Amino acid sequence: MPSNLAAIASDVFHWQSEPLALHSFLHCSADRSVDWTVHNTTASVFIMGALVKTGIFVLIVSVCQGYQDIWDYDGHKLKDTDYVSLWPLPQKVQSSAAAFKLSSINFQIVHAKGSSAGSSCSLLQTAFRRYFDYIFGYVKKQSFKKEPKKAFGEEVAELQVLITSSDSECDGYPDLKSDESYELSVDQPSAILKAPKVWGALRGLETFSQLVYEDEYGSRNINKTEVSDFPRFAHRGILLDTSRHYVPLKVILANLEAMAMNKFNVFHWHIVDDQSFPYMSRTFPDLSQQGAYHPYTHVYTPSDVKMVIEFARMRGIRVIPEFDTPGHTQSWGKGQKDLLTPCYSGSTPTGSYGPVNPILNSTYDFMASFFKEISAVFPDAYVHLGGDEVDFTCWKSNPDITKFMQAQGFGTDYSKLESYYIQRLLDIVSTTNKGYMIWQEVFDNGVKLKGDTVVEVWMSNRLTHELQQVTGAGYPTILSAPWYLDWISYGQDWVNYYKVEPLSFRGTEEQKKLVIGGEACLWGEYVDATNLTPRLWPRASAVSERLWSDKNVKDVNDAYIRLGQHRCRMIERGIPAEPLFTGYCRHEYKGNL
């Protein structure tokens, strides 16, 4: 092993003040190939012909060609191919040292002959342009720096995209059962990307773009590679809260872009809450007129919502809106008379209001009209109905509710009143042919749920018990409890998110199959347009790999290296992702000025 390589292997990146060591050795051979294959217990990593039994995946290609004067994210010398850091790591990757050039003059992404999607597929046509710009955009922006007219060595002239099923789903919307699998073969003169559906093609395009690296002369290169990939979990979401602080449309779109870079596929839009009601309803315009922070500047118009949904669809991302009731509804009451419960002090109204009033027929008439609109505006098969954190204090103070409780035989158990409301709401939503997601309290309170109801487990204090209970009752489950990104701590908290194993609870194999994925949640008390994106990324990237990659991809040392480079890639693409630790990126974030 060359002395400089040995030094790097023994003195690599540091996590906070503790060293992270690469527990592997690199040797050179004539073959110089690398093979990453996931097995049940270990990964067999062939690095330059040497078999290293290890639990990590290190994406280092062609190390025998020598190091250039290029410095990595944490101050160590790297060569060009070390910038190839796939994130999230695919299920299987095989790569060799055979390297090819890509020229912005010659290279193109095209529909393969026989593909069920052609030039009329705007989703793929737009993606082709987007990824071409990702691959060559930085070079194109350097007006002073001309690309070499003649590339040395062999060249990949095109990426052919082949959709193999008869229905490409090009004009459809992604859903829980969407096929995101793909196979990628990179060779000269053509690379081939095969996928049953356009959703897999989108994920494969992202992987192809991540395989491209820049040499010291600014030219683009890619190594001969074979990839076979699919997600471990079907639901991989990001929750953004746009009520506590209004998040401008372009910030939402930028984060959808970042989600696609990390292979997330669900935008859980917590669009309204106590603080504000920025959703502009056509049926009930007073909700935003009275309930938004500002009725003109701090709202999402119907065209805004439509843009978010389409922007997300073009990236294979579902948009699931959340309209949380009966709690978290103070802003609703400003624009909808008699919706909320009047609070009392003794026999006198206090002038304040509590949760939705569950004893009035007018409440359910309103909900029926409102969710009829929501079902028409949002095309996804699911809507999130909330149902968490209901404060019973106001209900307890209201004499009319006390009488209703007695008449219904609820006694003083206000969770039964909550269940009464939720049950009626679920029946209303069912008439719109929508499925629903709910926070775990609805399940805990014994509300009768449809079999396809998705229960979101968010309370960390009884996480494994809750997973056992929900899956034991047969309900699809998503996990968010370990991934509340609004909790901030000094240092690299991404490691904690990365180490989570969603299926580490006692249960049968059938129960564990009911865990369909998870979500990283960024609540909005302390974030707005100024800090949302850097707080979210690359911390959410740790969640993306946990939900996409094989369960045995869990080595923090390797993840630190790859995530540092992936963060720099997001920076180059215009996403202001915060740093993991000290160091710098080859192409730093330039800001918006």
CB 235 within 8 A of CB 261: no
At residue 396, the 3 state secondary structure works out as helix
Kindly state the tokens that stand for 536: 């979210």
For 195, the enclosing helix (H) or strand (E) is: strand 190-195
CB 355 within 8 A of CB 394: yes
CA distance 142 to 315: 27
Q: C-alpha angle 496/500/503, rounded to 5°?
A: 170
- Active-site entry in 169, 180, 389, 545: 389
CA 121, 124, 130, 133 torsion-angle sign: negative
Cα atoms in the Cβ-side hemisphere of radius 13 Å centred on 439: 21
Locus of tokens 């050795």? 25
- Side chain identity at 546, as an amino acid letter? R
CA distance 418 to 20: 50
Question: Three-class SS string for 163-182?
Answer: ECCCCCCCCCCCCCCCCCCE
Locus of tokens 């592997």? 24
Q: For this structure, is 389 an active site residue?
A: yes
Contacts 24+ apart (CB under 8 A), 466-474: 466/440, 467/505, 467/507, 467/515, 468/505, 468/506, 468/507, 468/511, 469/443, 470/440, 470/443, 470/514, 471/507, 471/511, 471/512, 471/514, 471/515, 472/507, 472/511, 473/443, 474/514
In eight-state DSSP terms, residue 82 is G
Locus of tokens 């991809």? 553
If phi > 0 it is left, if psi is from -120 to 50 it is alpha, else beta; for residue 582 that is beta
- Residues with active-site annotation: 389
